[in-house]
Amino acid sequence: MRSGQTNPVVRTVHGAVRGRYEHGVAVFRGVPYAAPPFGPRRFRPPLPPEPWDGVRDAGSFGPTAPKPPYSEAFAQYLSDPAIPGDDCLNLNVWTPEPGPGARLPVLVWLHGGALTRGSSAVPVYDGHTFARDGVVCVSINYRLGVEGYGLFPDAPANAGLRDQIAALQWVRDSIAAFGGDPDRVTVAGQSAGAISTGALLAAPAAQGLFRRAVLQSGAPEASDRDKVRRMVRRMASRLKIPATAEAFAAADRGQLLRVQAEVGRFSSPVLGGPGFGLVVDGDVLPRDPLEALLDGDAAPGVDLMMGWTSDEYRLWLVPGGLLERVDRLGAVALAGARARCHCGNEVVRGYRAARPDAGAAEIVGQLVTDHLLRIPMHRLADARPGSSYVYEFAWPSNLPDLGACHALELGFVFDSGDGPDARRLAGEGAPQDLADAMHGAWVRFAETGDPGWASWDATHPVRVFGDGPPHTAHGPLDAEYDLWKADVTAPRTPRGTRPRRLVRR
């Protein structure tokens, strides 16, 4: 608590909340932005919370959305607190100056977790460092898994995305009372949070709710509706119920989570498989978001910052020994990757030629990473030159085999690398100067729209955050990009078909 100050009280559009002073800034946790999405509201669009009288305590994180735990292999690297309760559509605010009048820039954080896990309570996402540096930080919870992204004939799609829009509307209406400027909002996310950010860029209902966007390790995309339906149908088959929202709403919540984890255990970014995702629904998401952004139909005037890590795939393959299994499969794995990426043989040959000493797992991992993340971001930057900034996080973890893997950069973005949860991925001795540079770039982008290096142009500048001072590389992905561009006439796997699996069940 600041000397001589009591706990801060701020009035939102739904009622007053009392926060805490911590680390020299004010923090408000567990503030509801929508009503609990259960009972008659289950599988339905979010509704405003009931207003309350008096002052609501906002000293602790609110309930997290229902989710299964990570497997033991992933849990050693990723923290994912679970807080029970129905009132899971809540958010947290860190601010240096609670009260109207400050008009500070705002960063709204969307967590990752494959749309099935994660929450705003993950310790790495502590927003006090942004508030310390003059940016109001907001982190939100949203519905996950079948509750947020199940596709049913009797319920609207994309409930989790609708939650995110409701949270942004709350920010528009209430953030000034916390010292934030509703006209200077940056939406940022990593992995599934970045995919969600891409969808928000294309969602008509989200237009005007933010001015800038950061996509870290996730590109705009819409999932195949049949893929999501298969996930729901597999769950329904195991539960012995119809594949409807009405039947799922009557099922035991714990059993739903167990079955969801069972049917999704073979799904991963590298291997594919059934899974939940955002879908084009003709309503909240009327078009594929990447197509809308490439055509210039979405988010005009919104500044973009986009980035990836050098070895994204290592978090997907190292836990559980998949890296070694894919290496052993060799040519079979490469054929599976070609099917997974819907690319021609020349693309695979080009990747092998560029990495003559690499094993199958590295080639497969980089191929799938480029297909899912880097190439779509490259195309998006090409479509929005002058207002796009691109970077790569290249510092390798101090832990064995992880390299510069997926999610490693988060401890540096939030400058939380000295905490035990960030050390799960980084190990001991993460460089503070790198955190200063990475976090500082995000702060500058939220403040001004310029993170501190050249915007995208014909030279394709990419800011590299790795060992030593950050530097700008020009066209580091151009060789791979040229392979994909030259592949436009190669045979494609039709949408809805299943590529051959890379590993046996």
pLDDT tens track for 189-212: 999 999 999 999 999 999 999 999
What pLDDT, in 10s, does the model give residues 219-262? Answer: 999 999 999 999 999 999 999 999 999 999 999 999 999 999 99
Rounded CA-CA distance 130/58 in Å is 19
What is the rounded average pLDDT of the residues 296-323? 94
Q: Which residues are catalytic?
A: 191, 312, 406
- Predicted structure pTM score: 0.95
pLDDT value of residue 489: 41
Q: Judge residue 320's burial from the number of C-beta atoms within 10 Å of its C-beta, 0-12 exposed, 13-18 middle, 19 or more buried.
A: middle
Average pLDDT rounded to a whole number, residues 57-67: 98
Is 50 exceeded by the pLDDT of residue 187?
yes
Six-digit token string for 332: 């079979």
Q: Are 188 and 107 in contact (CB under 8 A)?
A: yes
State the average pLDDT over residues 399-423. 96
Minimum mean pLDDT range among 176-190, 191-205, 254-268, 470-484: 254-268
Stretch 19-35: mean pLDDT, rounded?
97
pLDDT category of residue 492 using cuts at 50, 70 and 90: very low
Q: Cα–Cα distance between 438 and 362 in angstroms, integer?
A: 26
Query: Does pLDDT of 500 surpass 50?
Result: no
Q: Would you state the pLDDT for residue 488? A: 58
Mean pLDDT across the stretch 377-403?
A: 97
Q: How far apart are CA 45 and CA 42, in angstroms?
A: 8
What is the rounded average pLDDT for all residues in the chain?
93
Which pLDDT band, with edges at 50, 70 and 90, does 271 fall under?
Answer: low
Least confident of 17-31, 252-266, 360-374: 252-266
Mean per-residue pLDDT for 372-397?
97
Instruction: Output the pLDDT for position 491.
Output: 41
pLDDT at 274 over 90: no
Mean predicted confidence (pLDDT) in 279-295: 97
State the Cα–Cα distance between residues 69 and 260, nearest whole angstrom: 11
